Amino acid sequence: MDAQSQWTGLDAKRLERIGDHLERNYIQKGKIAGCQVSVARHGHLAYFKNFGMMDLERAKPTQDDTIYRIYSMTKPITSVALMTLYEQGYFQLNDPVSRFVPSWKEHRVWSSGEGDMMQTEPAHRPVSFRDVLSHMAGLTYGGGLPGVGIQHPIDRIYRELKVRSVGGADTMQQFMDKLGQVPLRYQPGTAWMYSLATDVCGALVEIISGKPFAQYLQETIFEPLGMTDTAFQVAPEKVERFAANYQRGPDKKLKLIDDPQTSDFTKEPGFKSGGGGLTGTSADYMRFCEMLRRGGELDGHRVLGPRTIELMHMNHLPDDKDLTQTALGSFSETANEGVGFGLGFASTKGQVQTGTLGAGDYYWGGAASTIFWVDPKEDLSVVFMTQLMPSGTFNFRGQLKSIVYSSIID
């Protein structure tokens, strides 16, 4: 056994299957332009490799410091930021959001109909901090999910009021006040629906802390953890490291949908989306994962306490159900079978139900097929970066889990 295998308990030769699999099935076949995989165990990096191209049009190979759009992998970062305020006593999980946002006091809940014929009823209870952290608030994405049109009468109201997290110019307060006017899709706490809830968490960070959301992230998470390339804007001097973003067309060929040189991500956004606005590197996100794995601390900098991290990846769905029993709508960044959801993270409840290894891990993904997971039982962190939309195109998570967990030999 080599020294690295002794440190990590991972068989280095078996981990090489990652590259064999990705090259054979994705890079050579042109299904993705390129990707990057990081695997760490017991605090040691066991595997880090680049594959293919970060920019096909300019023939630029994937580099160690390539910058990616992490989209919804912003959500766990935002959730951690809000929980740092929980730790300072600003709120309890069951407190109503309306404590800080008065316009949320009179939320109504959709019951039937649409337009002028819409029927609503009073909320049985106010929307709580737990609800927005766990996507159980009754919010939706306003029909704005990849490949999903306006599916529900409530989504039309989001459109009419121009409630948006991407490309919007509202202040955090204006965003929250608009949401206060939209009836909830369902009674708070009774179902799970992927939504603008984590953008609400970002707004709450700004409203409660009194600091701009981006500044709070920088001071509380990015600077302490050394996440030097994670930001809402790719700085001009870093654009050369920014990957292109692709979509798989009906002809199964890659189509460029966001050129890194002209991308909106190279400009300062008006609204800082806590649900999907960040860009960053694999190295940065691995540092975030390692902070989580170590119970909230990395290199002497503590972001959260270990008990708070544990609370965040417990299953907060009603009666310990999984997403098959609680989810409304067809879109998520995860499969639903055997999957629970906590405060910003999904979690694997059962290996039999999910058909994957790694019970007790917690994770999320992003719209451009990026994924990560942290497994406290196996002391493991994994980050996968690519730029292919939509995220459900290929099951990278399941495939990588098969290879990574079968490489554990201690």
pLDDT of residue 228: 98
Task: List pLDDT tens digits, range 184-221.
Answer: 999 999 999 999 999 999 999 999 999 999 999 999 99
Confidence of residue 254 (pLDDT cuts 50, 70, 90): very high
* pLDDT at residue 2 greater than cutoff 70: no
pLDDT value, residue 206: 98
Q: Residue 22: pLDDT above 80?
A: yes
Average pLDDT over every residue of 45-57: 98
pLDDT tens track for 345-372? 999 998 888 888 888 999 999 999 999 9
Alpha-helical runs (H) found in 149-229: 153-161, 172-181, 197-209, 213-217, 223-225
Q: What pLDDT is stored for residue 313 in this prediction?
A: 97
HEC-encoded secondary structure of 216-254: HHHHHHHHHHCCCCCECCCCHHHHHHECCEEEECCCCCE
236's CB contacts (< 8 A; 6+ apart) are 266
Is residue 150 scored above 70 in pLDDT? no
Kindly state the percentage of the chain with pLDDT values over 90: 89
Domain residue limits, the chain: 3-78+213-405, 92-209
pLDDT digits over 215-238, tens only?
999 999 999 999 999 999 999 999
β-pairing verdict for 362-365 and 346-348: antiparallel
Amino acid at 31: K
Q: Do domains 3-78+213-405 and 92-209 have the same CATH topology?
A: no
pLDDT at 6: 81
Extract the tokens encoding 359: 């019970």
Beta-bridge mates of residue 255 = 247
CA nearest to 199, candidates 389, 369, 71: 71
Find the distance separating the first CA and the last CA of the chain, reported in whole Å.
11
Q: Report phi then psi at 388, rounded to 5.
A: -135, 125
Q: Compute the distance between CA of residue 259 and CA of residue 328 in angstroms, rounded to an integer.
A: 34
pLDDT of residue 392: 87
Give me the mean pLDDT over the 265-288 stretch.
Answer: 97
pLDDT at residue 149 is higher than 60? no
Output the CA torsion sign for 407, 381, 336, 32.
Answer: negative
CATH code of 3-78+213-405, in short, is: 3.40.710.10
For residue 129, what are its two tokens? 């901090």
Q: For 93-98, what is the mean pLDDT?
A: 98
- For 141, the 3-state DSSP assignment is coil
Q: Residues 102-111: pLDDT tens digits?
A: 999 989 999 9
Mean pLDDT for the chain overall: 95
If one compares 8 and 166, the residue with the highest pLDDT of the two is 8
Interval 79-93: pLDDT, tens: 999 999 999 999 999
User: Which residue from 402, 410, 409, 369 is spatially nearest to 20, judged by alpha carbons?
Assistant: 402
Q: What local confidence, expressed as pLDDT, does residue 294 receive?
A: 98
Would the pLDDT of 286 be above 80? Answer: yes
What is the distance between the alpha carbons of residues 82 and 71, in angstroms, rounded to a whole number? 18
Cα angle 339, 341, 347; round to 5? 50
The yes-or-no verdict on residue 169 having pLDDT over 90 is no
DSSP 88-141: TTS--TTSBGGGT-GGGTT-EEEEE--GGG-EEEE-SS--BHHHHHTT-SS---
Give the 3-state secondary structure of residue 209.
helix
Task: Specify the pTM.
Answer: 0.97
pLDDT of residue 185: 97
**CATH architecture, domain 92-209:** Up-down Bundle (1.20)
Q: Does 44 score more than 80 pLDDT?
A: yes
Q: At 335, is the pLDDT very low, low, confident or very high (cuts 50, 70, 90)?
A: confident
State residue 213's pLDDT score: 98
